């Protein structure tokens, strides 16, 4: 999985962003107030830098204590008020680099614009996109502070119901949207607010979030699927 290389924007470029995809994040921030001063933003799949540029601008990184950390397997040119880490999000060493860079802070917002190399087959592109989402979620679980936000872009398809069930167990609220700046009809985003932390698997089926979405019996099936994807263990 790597950063999406633009191509998402419909709006004219009114600012010199590196990617038209920056307009997607601007729309999301206008609607959900994601980016704030004195915050830590982790941008997964940051190449070529459009989302990071918006994060720097909207979090006022030049005049506050905000930090914007970008991660991608592809090296990109540096940005002011930005820390870039080159690495594959699927590798444990990349997670170690992220945790070391965060130090004693945790992210207020984790962004994931991770995207697989598309092959043009709807089902395969969707499954590969879900794999990117799982990799982003593994990092989110270790880096996001309680009460934090998670924004996740993905290719829609049948497996998104499993992903939604998992996110509902981790956040107070989860919304699925397709902003006007996204060109593809299959690309969507989950906007997740109020990170609850990671509970033990035994207690998850009894949580209030499970009841509101899938029901206990269905949730056991979701947990089995997540274990199979390597996202959950038997802690």
Catalogue the active-site residues: 153
Tell me what percent of the residues of the chain surpass a pLDDT of 90. Answer: 66
pLDDT-based confidence at 12, cuts 50/70/90? very low
Q: pTM (2 decimals)?
A: 0.82
Confidence at residue 230, expressed as pLDDT on a 0 to 100 scale: 59
Confidence at residue 198, expressed as pLDDT on a 0 to 100 scale: 74
- Answer whether residue 102 shows pLDDT above 70: yes
Instruction: Give the pLDDT mean for 70-96.
Output: 97
Q: For 8, phi and psi rounded to 5 degrees?
A: -100, -15
- Answer whether residue 124 shows pLDDT above 80: yes
H or E element that contains 31: helix 22-32
Q: Per residue in 20-67, pLDDT tens?
A: 889 999 999 999 999 999 999 999 999 999 999 999 999 999 999 999
Highest-scoring range by mean pLDDT, 50-59, 159-168, 213-222:
50-59
Instruction: Give the pLDDT mean for 80-94.
Output: 97
The encoded tokens of residue 76 equal 């990109």
Instruction: Give the pLDDT mean for 140-164.
Output: 95
The encoded tokens of residue 30 equal 């206008």
Give the pairing of strands 40-44 and 107-112.
Answer: parallel
Residues 6+ apart with CB under 8 A from 147: 194, 195
Instruction: Give the whole-angstrom CA distance, residue 15 versus residue 8.
Output: 15
SS3 43: strand
Confidence at residue 39, expressed as pLDDT on a 0 to 100 scale: 98
């Amino acid at each position: 999985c790597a950063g999406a290389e633009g191509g998402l924007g419909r709006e004219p470029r009114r600012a010199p962003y590196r990617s038209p995809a920056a307009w997607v994040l601007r729309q999301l921030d206008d609607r959900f107030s994601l980016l704030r001063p004195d915050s830590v933003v982790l941008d997964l799949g940051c190449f070529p830098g459009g989302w990071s540029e918006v994060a720097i601008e909207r979090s006022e990184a030049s005049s506050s204590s905000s930090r914007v950390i970008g991660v991608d397997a592809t090296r990109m040119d540096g940005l002011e008020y930005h820390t870039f880490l080159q690495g594959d999000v699927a590798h444990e060493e990349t997670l170690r680099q992220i945790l070391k860079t965060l130090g004693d802070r945790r992210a207020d917002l984790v962004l994931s614009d991770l995207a697989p190399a598309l092959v043009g087959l709807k089902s395969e592109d969707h499954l590969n996109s879900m794999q990117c989402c799982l990799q982003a979620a593994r990092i989110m679980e270790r880096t996001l502070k309680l009460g934090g936000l998670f924004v996740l872009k993905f290719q829609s398809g049948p497996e998104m119901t499993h992903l939604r069930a998992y996110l509902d167990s981790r956040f107070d609220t989860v919304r699925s949207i397709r902003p006007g700046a996204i060109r593809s009809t299959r690309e969507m985003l989950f906007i997740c607010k109020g990170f609850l932390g990671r509970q033990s698997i035994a207690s998850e089926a009894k949580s209030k979030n499970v009841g509101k979405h899938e029901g206990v019996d269905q949730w056991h099936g979701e947990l089995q699927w997540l274990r199979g994807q390597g996202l959950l263990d038997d802690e």
